[in-house]
Amino acid sequence: MKSLLLASVGPLALACTAFISAALPARAQIALSTNDNKLVLENGQARAVRNAAPDTLSVIDLSASPPVVRAEIPVPASVVGPPLSVALTPDERLALVTANQVPDPANPGRTVPGSSISVVDLAANPPKVIATVQTGAGPAGVSINRAGTMALVANRAEGTVSAYRIHGQEVSPLGKVEIGPAASLVSHVAFTTDGRHALVTRYGDHRLDVLRIEGDKVTKTDREMTPGVQPYGLAMTPDGHWAVVANIGRGTGDADTVSLVDLSQEPFRIVDTVSVGQTPEGIMTAPDSRHVAVTVMNGSNKPQGSPFHGQGLVKLLRIENGRLFVVSQAPVGTWSQGAAFSPDGRTLLVGNMVEKNISVLRVGEDGMLTDTGTHLTVSGGSAALRTAERPAR
C-alpha cells in the first residue's frame, strides 16, 4: 500500500490465532497470505486500529478444489509496501515474512518502520516462527532464489537491500547493498530465474536498478531503467525471458501502467509499457510465462464520493512478441493487494484487504478470468500473497 509510512496503529496483541487443524497435503501445493490487522480503510482513508488483533500468516492448500485455508498463525506483517512481503523456499518448507510497519512502543496509536524478518517453519504442524532476523529499516518486498539458498529484502525506509544465506532452516545475514537515498523508497527486489541478477524497484525516484549476484556476493551495477511513475511490485516469468513491473502512479485518478523488461540479453531493457487503470498494486506472472495477473485498485480505495471511485479489478495480460496486451478482467474486492497462481496456472487468488478474504478465480485456456464465487476467509486484511518460485513448465 502506498504513502502510509507514517500511519498510526495500536499495539500488537499477544494472543495467538487458533491453528486450523486439517493436515497439509503430503505433496504440498500451497500459497501464503499475510494478513494485516493494524490498518483499516474507512471511506478512502487508512485508519490505525488501537489494540489490534495480531497479524497472521495463512497457509492455503491449492491441491484442494476449491482451495482451502489449512493453517493460520500469528506473524508480524504489514500492508505498507508491495504485496510481495512474503516468500517461500522452492521446497515449500520455509517462509520469510517482512513487517514494514510495527507498533510504536512509545505510542500505541502509531507505527514505526520495522527492522526484522520472521522465519517460519512450514513443515511443522502447526507451522511456527523459528527465528527473527534483523533487516534494514522498513523491510518490504522479499524474494528467494530458485536454488533456495539466498534471500533478498528491500529496506524501504533506508534505500538498501539486505542479503541472506539460507541453509536448511538457518537464515543468516550476508550484508547490505546501498541502492539509493532513503527517499528512493526501495520497495521490492526479485531474482532473475538463473539467480545471476536481481531487479530492484525505486518507488521514490521512478527507477529500476540491476544487481549482480556472484556466489554470496551481491553488488549494484550501473544499469538503471525508467519503467514508469512510481514502480512498485515486480515479477519474473519462470522461463527467465521477461520481468514485469507495476507502476502505481500518484493516485490522482489517472490510468497507470505495467512495464515489460527484456531479460534475454544484457543490458536488460524495457521494451513495452501499457495502461491498466488506477493503481496496479499486485503483480504476478503465470506458470506458462505468457500471462501476468495485475490487481488494479481502480479507485476502490478512494472515498465513495470521489469521481475516481470504482470497483476493484484484476486484469490478465498476455506477453506476445515482446508486447503486453490486456486480455481479460474480473471484479474483485476493495483495496485488493496480492495475486498468486496455482502451479497449473488455472486458479488465481487475489487478496482483499477490506473484506478480509481471498477471491478465487478460474483462468481459462483462452485467458478469460471467471469469478468462481469462492472467497477464502482469513483473519485480517490480506496484505500479500505468494507461492513458491518454480522453473518453467
Report the mean per-residue pLDDT for the chain. 92
Go through the domains of the chain in sequence order and give each one's CATH number: 30-387 (2.130.10.10)
> What is the pLDDT at residue 11?
32
SS3 371: strand
What mean pLDDT do residues 191-195 have?
97
Examine the pLDDT at 1 and tell me if it is beyond 60: no
User: Are the C-beta atoms of residues 354 and 297 closer than 8 Å to each other?
Assistant: no
> What is the pLDDT at residue 218?
98
User: Are the C-beta atoms of residues 159 and 179 closer than 8 Å to each other?
Assistant: yes
pTM for this structure? 0.93
Distance from C-alpha of 272 to C-alpha of 262, rounded to nearest angstrom: 9
Q: Could you read off the pLDDT of 43-52 as tens digits, one per residue?
A: 888 887 888 8
SS3 182: helix
Buried b / exposed e over 69-102, threshold 16 CB at 10 Å, is: bbbbbbbbbbbbbbbbbbbbbbebbbbbbbbbbb
Among 33-47, 224-238, 262-276, 328-342, name the one with the lowest average pLDDT.
Answer: 33-47
Task: Give the residue among 229, 230, 190, 194 at the shortest CA–CA distance from 210.
Answer: 190
What mean pLDDT do residues 34-38 have?
95
